[in-house]
Structure 1
Amino acid sequence: HIYTGRLRATGVIERGPEDLVPMGSHHTLEVKLNTPLRIQKEHWSRWTLKRLRMAVRASKNLKAIILVMEDDVAELGLIRQYGVEYRGPITGHIPGKRIQQRDRGKLRREFYESIVESLQKHGDLETIIIAGPGFYKSDFYDYLMERYPEIAKKAVLENTGTGGRAGISEVLRKGTVERVSSEKRIASEIRNVNEFLEKLARDPDSVVYGKVEVMDAINMGAVEKLLVLDRVVSREDIEGYLDMVESMGGSVVLISSEHEGGKQLESLGGLAGILRFKIQ
């Protein structure tokens, strides 16, 4: 499920303790993240295996950074599939308001630059959650907007009741990382659908949609980007075409049916292609 991060698998029970599960009955399993799962199939398409290998590699990468700020102390949590790696604390040593405002401003900028330096070590990261109980998180975000907009566009703000590692744990309990990641994935999918619709309106010959038209275009090597609805991707007659698109240098974008972009793609037959050259 796109919002809960859970997989629902429905099938017929073939083996098991008969006092607990009646043989031949239908049952649904809800598989959560990190649930051990064994899947057996007679045939695995090359496209499916490639996606599984990509998912395994991605699970080892950094998912997000949680930056918790309280007063002049910042703590970073690097969120990976297997847990949290803590970095910090980064301390600003900013004195009280009795010190001249000019000096406090200079020390605050130095504090913020120390945090930026830590964030820049993970430049390929897409999600930064800036959290904390007070003023500093929003002030630091404004600082990023002014001086480091490329970092600011990856960041979201979150309130917590405390700072430090306890604040990082609070952000994790709220499910903020999963929510933000899901929202970004949905936004990316909708952008791809909108790109197709804009081309369809402006230059209909630069796109194709519908099963027959898309497959013909793939056979000609004309599809540069293929949009596939999740409900049709597992069809045996589709999987081979996904392999073909990628083998010819094209890209395949999987679109969820659970948001507006997916519903628009579904109304077009669940398959749509952006062409690298026009066809008759």
Structure 2
Amino acid sequence: MRLIKKEISSDGSGRVSLVPQETNDLWYIFRILNEGNTLRTRTIRKVVKENSSGATTSAERKVITIILKVSRIEYDPAGGSLRVSGQNIGENEFIRLGQFHSTDVLLDAQISIGKSSWDNVDRKLIEESCDASLNADVAAVILDDSVAHLYLVTANMCIEKSTIHNSAAKKKYAGPGSDAKQQKFFKQIMQSMTVHVNSEKVRAIIVASPGSTNTQFVECMRGFHEGDLGRLAGQNKSKVLTCRVGSATTDALKEAFDDPGVLKRLGDTKFAQEIKNLNMFLKKMISAPEMVAYGYKCVRAACSNGAVETLLVSDSLTESMGRHRTKVSALMEEVQSYGGTVHTLSSMHASGKQLEKYTGIAALLRFACADAEMDDPSGVDPAATGIEKLAVTSKKGEYHTCYDGKMLVKGK
């Protein structure tokens, strides 16, 4: 993301101009935009001309600048598209004031977002989106002899791009020609990678399997020297990492990212930091439970004593505008004010989903804090923390976020 201009007054109101440069930037815009904000962007509008009798004489598509009061935002993670709907609130000769319009946010096109209050959550999102070192794509192939799953993992989400089945494996045939059938299976995986993996952007390609299938696939991959498959192998030769996992399922993806060699290669990327901090929290839960806190009430108590060194927050707690977001945002700001660090974990990553099992908010402490101890360390009632999880569905007119595998929606 490229930051063009940031004009935020002392009361928190203002406008920020941005240029999304890659599909992951659309996720940040989806997180930043909320119902009631304003969006200034260029859009295409079909303009119809009529004669005095009301008959249509011509129709043409014009590129115009529009200012919308946002009422709905739709984001498709798999397709990499963001659509915004709302009422026109700016003077325009082609669209009446108050008329509804929908437009797609395009890459490399400047937009301007206006808010009555830019809180700590919004500012952190802008900072993260403009830091290229935090945003790096990783491709992962989780496979065994019968199936392969290709994932693209960005700083904020994990998307399954394709699933390839090896029909020959079901026949358990190990006679002449079985190697050729396995090579065909590996070739199909590579062909899928040429479509979904951008070799210039990925930092690493992780190949994981329960047995030796991963090393066999890598050997096959390095055997290609010409054509699209040869380019794929050549451009990513130094990026390929292999590791062992228990199965070729979605759960194996987290297992692969927990591998020390994989974490070392990912370095200081955002999701590598998320995994490291969550793993540290889980280890201390066992070895030194007095040095961690989870649940809003307990973390709030630790923060009041200046005990929070690292705060972990699921982004699901900061999605909606309301008292819950205000409370979490204030907590994040307080932790940062006395030198603590704050990490927002994506609920579309395995680490974020695991954090949600601990109410979505947790902390690593500088020192033990009696006020932060849980009455019942075996479980947490989210309602008791004062922070409720976002509902998948909601009543008409309420804010909601839903994920059906294709689309994320905010608004009415």
TM-score normalised by length of structure 2: 0.35
Q: TM-score, with normalisation over the residues of structure 1? A: 0.49
